[in-house]
Every structure is written in C-alpha cells, then in structure tokens.
Chains A and B, each alone.
Chain A
Amino acid sequence: MTRELTCIGCPMGCALTVEVENNEAVSVTGNTCKIGENYARTEISAPVRAVTTTALTAEGIPVPVKTVGSVPKDKIFEVVAHIKRTTVTLPVKVGDIILDNAADTGVAVAATASMDN
C-alpha cells in the first residue's frame, strides 16, 4: 500500500510517498533530508507530536511551555490536561522543568520563556 504524507519536520513541507507493509514504512521518497524519512516511519507505525501550550500561575498568568521531545499523538489531550492541573510559581527561566512526566508519557514539560513575578 502507498501512503502520501506531508513532512512536518520543517516549513518546506516535503510531499512524501511511503510504501507501507504490515503497518511499517518499507520505503520513503520525496524527502529532502533524513528527518523526513524518520517522520514517515514513526508516522506510519506510531505518530508522535511535540506539544506547546501554556501553564498557569496561581494568579492565572499564562507561562508558555513545551514538551521536551514528542509524545504519542493520541496522548496530546491528556498531556495538556496534566499541564493545566499544574501550577507554576514565578520567576521561571527558559528550560525550567515544570512537570517531569506528563500524563505518564515519560516526557517532561519545560517553560519556554523567562518570566519575573
């Protein structure tokens, strides 16, 4: 079976053609770099995404955060819910970990901006 994908690795958005057998990519064409090939392989077997959202301080001030690495696509909403249950205390620095293990994915969540109180 052939599947057409768009690589989300960078804004080029290469159009990928993937030969799929037993839920695995056996060949990938159309990618400009290695990221595209890796993307196609995981996208076929177990798609993952990096998640960005905001966590709130006790006063309701949003602090931008991201997952440090990717989480399974079907866990995105659980990850966001876990982040929303977490209260951040200012000040924070870029890269400060605000959550070690988001929704049992084993992936941490870090602040993406430095903010004073």
Chain B
Amino acid sequence: MREFELVIIGGGPAGMAAAIAAKKQGIDDLVIFERGDRLGGILNQCIHNGFGLHTFKEELTGPEYAERYAQQVYDLGIPYELGTMVLDITPDKQITVVSRQRGAETVRARAVILAMGCRERPRGALGIAGFRPQGVYTAGTAQKLVNCEGVVPGKEVVILGSGDIGLIMARRMTLEGAKVRAVVELMPYSSGLKRNIVQCLDDYGIPLMLSHTVIDIKGKEKLEGVWVAAVDEHNAPIEGTEEYFPCDTLLLSCGLIPENELSRSAGIELSPLTSGPSVDESLETTVEGVFACGNVLHVHDLVDFVSEESVRAGENAAEYIKGKPSSPGTPVAVKPGNGVRYTVPSRLYPESVTDCVHIRFRVTAPVKGAAIVVSCGGKELARKRGRIFVPSEMIEVILKKEQLAGLSGDIEVRTEEAAK
C-alpha cells in the first residue's frame, strides 16, 4: 500500500495552493489526486477575466490564473496524478482511488486536504414541473461545452438565475451569436456581482427580470419556449403576469453546493449552513488531520480568497504532520447572528491561534448603511462598516490573538443597522 504524509484531493486552485504551501513548509512526501485531465479545476472553463486582482495585482482570465499556480507545482516538483478519482476516505485516512494507469488502489495518508470544489445545483432541485426536453443545461455545463469543447448549445436562450456563472454565460452566448432573451431571477436582487450585470447584461441590452421565475416549459423532445411570471413576496407566481419566451435553450444558474460525498464517507461533520465541513480556525474538520479549503468548504466568488485560504490549510496540515498537537483546550463556537447566513470557521481554539484568525461569512440579504459586529458575551471584538453588504460577496473580519484572550461564551457575527 502506498503511503503519503499528505494527500490533496482535487487539483483546482485550492488543491494547488495548499500543496504549494505544504511543500514550502518542508512536506516532500505529498501527492495531488485530480480526476480531470489537467490541473486548474473549474478555472479552465472560466475564460473570462477578473481573476487574480488581489494576488497578482492584474486582471487574469481563469486559465491564466490556473497556469501560474500549475507552474509553481511543476517548478517545486510536487507530484500530481491526473485522471485519478478518489472514491472513498475512511476516518483513519485510507483513501480509495481509481485511475486508468493503476486501476483501483488504496493509499494511506497522515494528513488529507479536501479540495474537491463545488458543483452546480442540479435541475431537479428547481421544482419546475413538466417534461425534461433537450435544451436545458446548467450554466456551468454550457460554459464547459462552449469554452472547452467548442460547442454552442443553442441560438435563443433564456437564463434562470442571475448568479455570476449565468451572467457570464449570457455574454458568452451573445458573443457566440446566440440571442439571450432574458435573465430571470426569483429574488428581488441579483446574486451576481454588480460588475457582471453591467458588463454582461447592460452592455448587450439583455433584460434582467428580478422577482420573476420560469413557471413552465414548452416542448416535449426539444425545448420550444418557457413561460415566465412575476412572483409575490412569498415567491408564488402572480396571475396575469405570465409571458412566453420562445427559446431553444434554458440555462440554469441556481447556485453552487460544496462537493462533499467523500467528506460524508470519512465521517466528517458537515455544517447545515454551508453544506461544507464544519472546521476550526486551522481549517481542520472534525476528523483529526483532515483539512478543507476552497469551494468544498464554502462557496467562494473570488478565487483569490480560495488561494489565500488554501495556503493556510496547507500550512496547518504541514504543522500537523510535523507533530503540532491538534486543537488544544476547549473550543469557542462562532455563530451567525442577525442578518448573517454562516461563518467559517464555526469554532475556534483561542490557544492554538498563532497571531490572528480569519472569519469569513455572508449576509442573508442586502443591507445598506449597516455595520458588521463581532461580539462575545456582550463584549464587542470588531466592527466593520460598509455602505452596502450583499449576499454575493464574502466578507472577512480578522481577529487578533490578543482579542481572543479570556473569552467566555460564543462569538457572534451579526449585522447592525446604523443609528439614524
């Protein structure tokens, strides 16, 4: 049985950054398992720009960003095995993998980093009644078809969901000669970035229909069109507002969920709020020596934050391998309060914090002129102001080690309306 000090599952930006960081900390006996045929993960299909502004101070496309990290993997001589799918992890870190070169194999690891990314919500989750004609795709599938396979799935398009992938695909399909009739969004606000609304929809005159949804699909074998209706505050369609859009393609951009089949089999506790593993400040899951980073942990919108977080996972895994006792003392829970959907980490060990801890979270709905308050047992630890906080942006608050001394009770992160 092959044995490794560190096994990294997934060769996307998270896996690569974690591997590079661990290697730099002196961990040489490591490997990246990637099921795809190249490193880079989902970035290979994200050919638009907007990546890396924080990390490289320039705007890169997805493949360019991925290649910078892949180059470091090659330069540092980090072993990686492509076409290698991890099927199972046990709580004692035996990993079953299958590849064409080696067939099925079980390997053992001292430490594991989960970096499997996320997947799109499947269309079954959308609750549209009726047939499943040809022409209905998730936006990410369409992105892969167009950008990696050179196949444009249709000519007349409606997009349901205004997440970033949907917005990006509205522009992409337009540039490939398709007519995008509308982007339909159930919520009264878009879950995508404002810049993408400007440069992907407004630039091309594509209407964004907020508080609307697709209520029915026409076409038995092939999609012929969709009915769209406005919804009320309970998301119920409003009678009389139905509008028919002929189209041969419906793209679904309805959100991403962390990919955690493997985490479940390893007996790792998942957070019901993020659908990712619940972790402490070192990004260690509830199974000792198993760490998580990137989209498998919580869905990120900025790859720079993925890379930064993954460096910390790689460094902490290296510390663990070198024998740092994991998680001493009693943990303090970190909880989302008013207006906050989740926090990562969800618990922390004040004693094992080296100099600071990053708390990342999202708000539940857009708030204007509010402050983010981090408190513990009535004591305010941090306050962050902003003109507007939106669910599409991940927010970060950094607490220093000194601030964590002598805390009792849970740490709470909440939004607070500004005093009038």
Contacts and interface: CB of A to CB of B under 8 A. Distances in A.
A60 B60 CA distance: 24
Given A11-B195, A50-B49, A52-B47, A64 B302 contact: no
A54 interface: yes
Of B50, B64, B149, most buried by chain A (CB within 10 Å of CB) is: B64
Given A50-B59, A113-B44, A7 B64 contact: no
A53 to B, nearest CB: 6
Contacts, number: 75
B47 A13 contact: no
A82 interface: no
A22 B322 CA distance: 66
B194 A6 contact: yes
Interface residues of B, number: 31
A113 B49 contact: no
Nearest to B50: A11
Interface of A: 5-11, 13, 15, 49-54, 56, 60-62, 64, 66, 73, 76-77, 80, 94, 112-114
A54 B197 CA distance: 22
Given A11-B302, A52-B49, A114-B67, A76 B175 contact: yes
A6 B197 contact: yes
- Mostly helix, strand, loop or mixed at chain B's interface? helix
Given A49-B199, A49-B203, A80-B175, A11 B48 contact: no
B147 A8 contact: no
A113 B63 contact: yes
Interface in B171-213: 172, 175-176, 193-195, 197-199, 203
Contacts of A49: 199, 203
Question: Which 9 pairs of residues, A with B, have the shortest CB-CB distance?
Answer: A13-B194, A113-B63, A64-B47, A62-B150, A8-B195, A112-B61, A13-B195, A6-B194, A52-B48
A54 B194 contact: no
A10 B301 CA distance: 12
23 contacts: A5-B198, A8-B195, A8-B199, A10-B59, A11-B53, A11-B193, A13-B198, A15-B387, A51-B175, A52-B47, A53-B172, A53-B175, A54-B47, A54-B147, A54-B150, A62-B147, A66-B61, A76-B175, A80-B175, A112-B47, A112-B60, A113-B63, A114-B67
Nearest to A55: B150
